[in-house]
């Protein structure tokens, strides 16, 4: 996994603080593996239980175009 970008922005009046991550993976299987390990990490579980804040995700899968330098 590699971070391709991130931003913090005002998105909606009912959810003013939104963190946007753009991450790159080799494929969907790699993405699933990385997130499963992240969710199972003891440090993450400790941190998530310490701060009771709602965490939600909107996931969008994107692919590089044929002319992209990423290919």
Is the model's pLDDT at 5 over the cut of 50? no
pLDDT tens per residue, range 26-71: 888 999 999 999 989 999 899 888 887 777 777 778 888 888 887 6
Structural Rg of the chain based on CA atoms: 15
The β-bridge partners of 18 are 9
> What is the pairing mode between strands 2-9 and 18-24?
antiparallel
Indicate the pLDDT class of residue 9, thresholds 50, 70 and 90.
Answer: very low
**Predicted TM-score (pTM) of this structure:** 0.59
User: What's the confidence (pLDDT) of residue 41?
Assistant: 95
- Give the per-residue pLDDT at 16: 66
């Amino acid at each position: 996994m590699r971070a391709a970008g991130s931003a913090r922005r005002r998105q909606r009046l009912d959810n003013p603080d939104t963190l946007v991550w753009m991450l790159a993976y080799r494929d969907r299987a790699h993405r699933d593996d990385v997130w499963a390990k992240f969710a199972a990490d003891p440090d993450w579980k400790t941190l998530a239980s310490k701060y009771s804040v709602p965490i939600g995700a909107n996931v969008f899968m994107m692919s590089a175009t044929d002319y992209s330098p990423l290919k």
